[in-house]
Amino acid sequence: MSSKREGTLYGVGLGPGDPELVTVKAARLIENAEVIAYHSARHGRSIARSVAEPYLRPGQIEEALVYPVTTETTNHAGGYQGAIDEFYAECADRLAAHLGAGRDVVLLAEGDPLFYGSYMHMHKRLAGRFRAEVVPGVTSVSGASAVLGSPLAERDEVLTVLPGTLGTEELAERLRSTDAAAVMKLGRTFEGVRAAFEKAGRLDDAWYVERATTDRQRFRPLSEVDPETVPYFSLALLPSPASTALPAAARADAGSPGPGEVVVVGLGPAGREWTTPEAQAALAAADDLVGYGPYLARVPDNPRQRKHPSDNRVEAERAAFALDLARRGAKVAVVSSGDPGVFAMASAVLEAAAETPDVPVRVLPGLTAAQAVASRVGAPLGHDFCVLSLSDRLKPWEVIVERLRAVAAADLVLAIYNPASRSRDWQVAAARDVLLEHRAPDTPVVIGRDVGGPRESVAVVRLDELRQSDVDMRCLLLVGSSTTRVAAGADGRDVVYTPRRYPA
């Protein structure tokens, strides 16, 4: 009689945060696993899952192990420890059900699974019942050392790893008696940890590192850190005493060489051939590149440079981050598609810089999407024109309607940016109806999609035939004036132009 196969529990270390620091073995196991488990606080966001996300595949079972408490109080009869013990027991039962059914389970762990990690609590409860394998990961201590560019320990030096939850006096005593040290678990313990370094006479040699290897990493001398800004995912590092100097990047982070520079660069609407030589030179000279992920991906990778991609809806945070990098001495290029001064990052960076004008900011122009679309059909922008965004994320829809009416009444050609998105699926039709109050039904409208890109398409339609379904988030619209004309080109395609002379 054949015995039933049981699953294997894999404790998989993900490293300190950069998905590219996930080992080849870890990536393979994550992709092949039937069940992916990960811990999170009650907000539901899991750092471990976010690091592993590039290696996940559709159809995997996910087990979110959500802590009932983290640092807050609880009314559990056994207190905080009782609540946590009960939680670990319940989690072990959930994973055991999968393992017993023959499903392999990958339990994700930041850093290394057995280095101050949550995985060990499942390992202790399940390794005696099921096959368990631990896949080591790069620790946060190694990540911090790499970020600083400073050795942890050399030759016969002693490196001590300490939890910040120890009392100040005990921490100070251990710091006095070691060559190098890493103190974990900061956050609420930070002030006590810094006091321990000061008591031990080691504060001037200590560094603070936060979220090492991620696009949110930060490092400064420990003595200069504001306790209110310290998250749990940070550590204090006392590097090897044989390290006589930290690299220029770390000195710049401490502010020693003074501020660097922020250059806001327009990439143009598509490929490198539409990026100006001036912009290309600024990109090549930068230490750090900051921008919306898809735009940043258009810039070729350079191992000397650091890329910091982010979501498209965090312009203010992106600007503040770029300025902070420059304050630490970096040459920073903030990239925008098209021209950075047209519904893009230039205004966000300058607005942030105006609050504390201590960093020089330059803006380099780029070919706009409106110019690119216009070029495909001729010269619809040959006379006076207006540029307007249909997005109501940063201004009320009522203001957009007022401006549409004013532009239509003034008989200006209109370039419409951001005409639609996944959540805005009605505004094109609404804008069309407003424009028809002042424009003839046969007014030409140019619909340009992904111009310069691999899926480029350009169409010319009548204003009264403009449909919402014709337009998506990759489109730009050019709405003609009363003088805009459509003619047949020699190749049979429509040519659209607005004469420079205006009728008397």
pLDDT confidence band for 476 (50 / 70 / 90): very high
Burial class (CB in 10 A: 0-12, 13-18, 19+), 490: exposed
Does 123 score more than 70 pLDDT? yes
Which has more pLDDT, 251 or 76? 76
Query: Hey, how many other C-beta atoms are within 10 angstroms of the C-beta on 152?
Result: 22
Amino acid code (one letter) for 50: S
Mean pLDDT, residues 68-72 taken together = 65
pLDDT of residue 255: 40
| pLDDT value of residue 423 | 79
- 53-60 mean pLDDT: 94
For 244-264, write each residue's pLDDT tens digit.
Answer: 444 444 444 444 445 689 999
pLDDT given at position 253:
46
Q: Are 217 and 210 in contact (CB under 8 A)?
A: yes
As a whole number of angstroms, the distance between CA 182 and CA 209 comes to 10
The Cα–Cα gap between 172 and 11 comes to 34
- R_g of the chain computed on alpha carbons: 29
DSSP string for residues in 365-405 = ----HHHHHHHHHEETTSS-EEEEE---SSS-HHHHHHHHH
What local confidence, expressed as pLDDT, does residue 252 receive?
45
Name the band, by pLDDT with cuts 50, 70 and 90, for residue 72.
low
Nearest to 264 by CA among 292, 306, 302: 292
Average pLDDT over residues 139-145: 94
Q: Is residue 174 within 8 Å of 181, Cβ to Cβ? A: yes
Token pair listed for 26: 């870890």
Closest alpha carbon to 113 in 131, 151, 74, 139: 139
Mean pLDDT (whole number) for 293-308: 88
Going by pLDDT thresholds of 50, 70 and 90, the confidence category of residue 3 is low
Average pLDDT, the chain: 89
Higher pLDDT, 251 or 368: 368
Over range 340-348, report the average pLDDT.
91
Identify the pLDDT of residue 245. Answer: 44
Mean pLDDT of 101-105: 96
In angstroms, the CA 201 to CA 208 distance is 16
As a whole number, mean pLDDT of residues 340-359 equals 90
Nearest-10 crossing angle of helices 79-100, 119-126: 60
| Least confidently predicted of 21-35, 60-74, 310-324 | 60-74
**What's the pLDDT band for 155 if we cut at 50, 70, 90?**
confident
Average pLDDT over residues 194-203: 94
Q: Residue 267 half-sphere exposure, CB side, CA atoms within 13 Å?
A: 25
Looking at residue 233, its pLDDT comes to: 85
Q: What pLDDT, on the 0 to 100 scale, is given for residue 305?
A: 87
CA distances from 29 to 329, 496, 502 (A): 40, 56, 68
- Residue 70's pLDDT is 60
What structural domains and CATH numbers belong to the chain? 8-136 (3.40.1010.10), 141-253 (3.30.950.10), 261-367 (3.40.1010.10), 370-497 (3.30.950.10)
For the segment 444-455, what is each residue's pLDDT rounded down to a tens digit?
Answer: 999 999 898 888
Q: Higher-confidence residue: 161 or 394?
A: 161
Supply the pLDDT for residue 349: 93
Q: How far is the C-alpha of 369 from the C-alpha of 475, rounded, in Å?
A: 9
Over range 73-98, report the average pLDDT: 85
Tell me: pLDDT of 242 over 80: no
Task: State the virtual CA torsion across 9, 41, 188, 120 in degrees, nearest 10.
Answer: -10
- Determine the length of the chain: 504
Reading phi first (left if > 0) and then psi (alpha if -120 to 50, else beta), residue 201 is in: left
Q: DSSP secondary structure string, 44-64?
A: ---HHHHHHGGG--TT-EEEE
pTM (2 d.p.): 0.51
pLDDT digits (tens, 9 = 90+) for 17-39: 999 999 999 999 999 999 999 99
